[in-house]
Chain A
Amino acid sequence: MANLTINGKQIEIDVEADTPLLWAIRENVGLTGTKYGCGIAQCGACTVHIDGVAMRSCGISVGDAAGKQITTIEGLAGNGAPHKVQLAWIANDVPQCGYCQSGMIMAVAALLKEKPKPTDADIDGAITNICRCGTFQQVREAIHAAANA
């Protein structure tokens, strides 16, 4: 059994402590917005916030995540209002297939929290998610748009 705090809610799930957080979120909690892409913390599709920091949930065990504040894409919008990154994503028509975008948006939201007006170099350093559709040009535009929103 494990106790997780996800999107502000305490959730008890029957899962081994060494289970990757990604799979506990997807299969035991049932939130499927967080995506599996590689399982080795390379692609970033599974990015969530842990105590406000963007982390790849496939590389963290449930045991290590217990007691921390976990935010998934489903919990990014506060009080029903979309997050400014989500609004910028819609306004700039960023997603193509969209599969990597949950992780991309979570990574960007964490970046903007740390650096509200990131430079292109800040973006290059902080956003390392893989997108096989190649939405990077729109991602960059939307990050700047969100920063200026």
Chain B
Amino acid sequence: MPQRTREGIIMNRHAMPKLNRRAFVVGTATVGAGLALGLDLPFGGPTVVRAADGSPEVNAWVVIRPDDTVVIRIARSEMGQGTLTGLAQLVAEELECDWSKVTTEYPTPGQSVARKRAWGDFSTGGSRGIRASQEYVRKGGATARMMLIQAAANEWNVPVAECTAASSVITHTPSGKTTTYGKVVEAAARLEPPAEVKLKDPKDWKIAGKGLKRLDTPDKTTGKMIYGIDVKLPGMLNAAIKDCPVFGGKLKSFDEAKVANMKGVKKVVRVGDTAVAVVADTWWHAKTALDALPVVWDEGENAKVTSASIANWLAEGLEDAQPAYLGNQNGDAKAAIASAARKVEAVYNYPYQNHAAMEPLNATVLYTADKCEVWCGTQNGEAAFAATLEASGLTADKCEVHKQMLGGGFGRRGQTDYIRQAVAIARQMPGTPIKLLWSREEDMAHGMYHPVTQCKLTGAFDADNNLTALRIRLSGQSILFALRPAALENGKDPAAFQGLNAQGEAAIGYTVPNLLVEHSMRNPHVPPGFWRGVNVNHNAIYLECFMDELANEVGQDPLEFRRKLMTRHPKHLAVLNAVAEKIGWGKPPPKDVYRGIAQHMGYGSYVAGAAEISVTDGNKIKVHRIVAATDPGYAVNPAQIERQVAGSFVYGLSGLFYGGCTVKDGRIVESNFDTYNSMRISEMPKVESIVMPSGGFWGGVGEPTICVAGPAVLNAYFAATGKRIRSVPLKDQNITFA
């Protein structure tokens, strides 16, 4: 990507078709089928494929230039989470190349489709960027290394077994002869790839597993990095858009004449059934005219919906008589609760949240009768490509998506609504490049929000204060229902139970003799989406705050109470013990400082957090310190993992303290950062991360830890004040940062 920004977007665009690709005509349906194919990734072959500058590919992942520069191709998107650097480390590790000569580039989705998905899945969400592609990118690197060594052995006419490679230099051990990757790459690219490759044991890693610096930092300090919002094309016009503020409502009419003569205005266009856009010479002119444009909406029935009406409907779902999907069950929780010596019950809730990535949504499109090209930040290049095909009505050979750096994603840029809108506008102005940029207000009004849920929890004890039953009844919105209905299981959203499952990558860490976890699905009209952490954000607060309530009920230490229930969950317990030890649990905290603790599992990783806070006037919280532990199985870049952990706490605690999107008259009330605030540096606790990979599995990093900060802080607040907070955001309880 450094290459991309230096050469500029126009260069990039014209360079792409040079890539050696076959004439290719497929329809939307074929592409759809192509995207669904299993991975059958080519690792090289006798036909040399060349990059834009003529350098040969050893295989789809590795291009080597004559000067020994190694270009590593990255299919997943970089949005700050460090995947670009981490994946490059994995390829470089197996390639045995000189890390200082590594650069990266994105293959385009169009190239990938034309090459039978040579780069596999582009989707960058669910903390899958590294864990879901680590095996094949490492094979890509290892295969390339073997071909390069073979090429050198052939040239020297020596047995390949006598040759080794390190730091891009190949050595024939008996003779001491050496050569470099750049010198043998032409020959290597013509070799058949080896049938079998053996990947390194991670304990032998020298590049992966190290806290190396990110590859994309310098341009982010000089203003040179190009994000979607920065794309410039010759003759480009700019569009500002307003979609019906009530979700599900429609655009009735607008009075173009009122703004047609305003400075810079070129056109006012209808976008689908629900939105209107002004196209002008500059975005500022477009936005100014849009603000002045008289628009009549058909708001429809949803205009009656409020946060209170949604809350009432969700509360009904907590009642036994209402239908619910079964998520996890052992024993007979209902009977155990009915016969309990004592029981505890509590109801919690978690609100809608907007992603509010710093870069508002945008996409730039050039549409002509036989071509549709899109430049945008996207978390899923292939989804963006499919959306481009669908919205343009053109075939795959006539479409392309050029991925740009993302100014944050957090799940929002995995969706393609903004791309479809931009194509719809560009189709009305063929031949003119159009950049569609949402205002922050539009971004707040048309999110794909963290879903709204409530949860009733019931715990039962026997006469000896042993926990005999736990019942968790969720009521609320399903993301999969709205966005991936095919992933529902007989109507059930399995993701709703994230962190509460019996087993798998999001398993509960406690053994309770009688357990019942259910979800009463209630889907209000507000569109839900995957918001960093997704369902662990609320599930961890519900479970971990309630575990504290249970411990308190029987007068036990919150850590000791949990430990007794965790003996069969050693990995969950290990991260919990790690944070307890580091924060000094059991030893007295500093004066007026109180502690809280929490653990959870999501995305295949085990996470725990312990917070130290102080409280002034009962409602001003200073979070001094959070100790966080994560076991992601393997740690490809521990320094970046630490940054993800600390960063996730800013996102999660911002949502806990300041977030919450209010629904009134069917629309979202909060319109910008003045009403939807985000944590500042003065509110940032010191985060001490413990990265403790135990090996044998690959867990995610970007999301899992986010969920432990909230309950750790809320439990500390109880320790400090004796008051239990069960409703988010805290601003609605008149609680704020000190």
Contact = CB atoms under 8 A, between A and B. Distances in A.
B160 interface: no
A23 B440 CA distance: 14
A105 B224 CA distance: 14
Contact of A124 (B229, B284, B654, B681): B681
Interface stretch (B211-219, B294-302, B327-335, B719-727): B211-219
A122 B224 CA distance: 29
Interface in A72-101: 72-74, 76-77, 82, 86, 89-90, 93-101
B408 A132 contact: yes
Contacts of A136: 646, 650, 679-681, 684
Nearest to A103: B358
B662 interface: no
B82 interface: yes
Most buried by A among B232, B238, B650: B650
A124 B622 CA distance: 13
Contacts, number: 178
Nearest to A37: B358
Given A96-B82, A136-B681, A140-B681, A131 B358 contact: yes
B225 A93 contact: no
Contact of B684 (A28, A39, A137): A137
B406 A97 contact: yes
Interface string B431-443: 0000001011000
Given A39-B440, A97-B407, A45 B687 contact: no
B171 to A, nearest CB: 33
Interface residues of A, number: 57
B430 interface: no
B248 interface: no
Contact of B359 (A20, A93, A99, A125): A99
A60 to B, nearest CB: 14
| Most chain A CB within a 10 A radius of its CB, from B284, B439, B679, B684 | B284
Contact of A97 (B356, B405, B686): B405
A79 B662 CA distance: 50
A30 interface: yes
A34 interface: yes
Contacts of B410: 132
Interface string A9-48: 0000000100110010001101111111111101101000
A93 B649 CA distance: 18
Contacts of A131: 358, 650
B362 to A, nearest CB: 10
B225 A135 contact: no
A127 interface: yes
A99 B408 contact: yes
Interface residues of B, number: 60
B622 to A, nearest CB: 11
Contacts of B406: 97
A70 interface: no
Contact of A77 (B222, B227, B360, B639): B222
Contacts of B681: 123-124, 127-129, 136, 139-140
Centre residue among B222, B225, B232 by max chain A CB count within 10 A: B222
Nearest to B684: A136
A101 to B, nearest CB: 5
Residue among A16, A45, A130 facing the most chain B CB atoms (10 A cut-off):
A130
A40 B673 contact: yes
A67 interface: no
**Which of A123, A128, A134 has the most C-beta atoms of chain B within 10 angstroms of its own C-beta?**
A134
Given A30-B232, A132-B678, A95 B220 contact: yes
A19 B647 contact: no
A5 interface: no
Given A131-B650, A134-B647, A96 B80 contact: yes
* Best-buried of A32, A135, A136 by chain B (most CB within 10 Å): A136
A102 interface: yes
Contacts of A105: 221
A89 B229 contact: no
Contact of A100 (B217, B358, B649, B679): B358
B283 interface: yes
Interface string A103-147: 001000000000000000001110111111111111110000000
B263 to A, nearest CB: 7
B651 to A, nearest CB: 6
B684 A95 contact: no
B490 interface: no
Nearest to A134: B650
B224 A133 contact: no
Contacts of B684: 134, 136-137, 140
Given A23-B282, A27-B283, A134 B646 contact: yes
Given A19-B284, A136-B681, A97 B408 contact: yes
A98 B225 contact: yes
Interface string B632-648: 00000001000100111
B191 interface: no
A40 B672 contact: yes
A128 B221 CA distance: 18
Contacts of A123: 681-682
B217 A93 contact: yes
B81 interface: yes
Contacts of B678: 43, 130, 132
Contact of B227 (A99, A132, A139): A99
A101 B327 CA distance: 43
Interface in B679-738: 679-682, 684, 686-687
B455 interface: no
Interface centre among B219, B410, B646 (most CB of A within 10 A): B646
B659 to A, nearest CB: 11
8 contacts: A30-B232, A37-B673, A42-B673, A74-B222, A94-B217, A128-B680, A134-B649, A136-B646
Given A93-B639, A94-B221, A138-B646, 17 more contacts: A27-B238, A40-B672, A93-B217, A95-B214, A95-B220, A96-B80, A96-B647, A97-B357, A98-B225, A123-B682, A131-B358, A132-B356, A132-B678, A134-B679, A134-B684, A135-B647, A136-B679
Interface of B: 79-82, 213-214, 216-227, 229-230, 232, 238, 263, 282-284, 356-360, 405-410, 437, 439-440, 639, 643, 646-651, 654, 672-674, 678-682, 684, 686-687
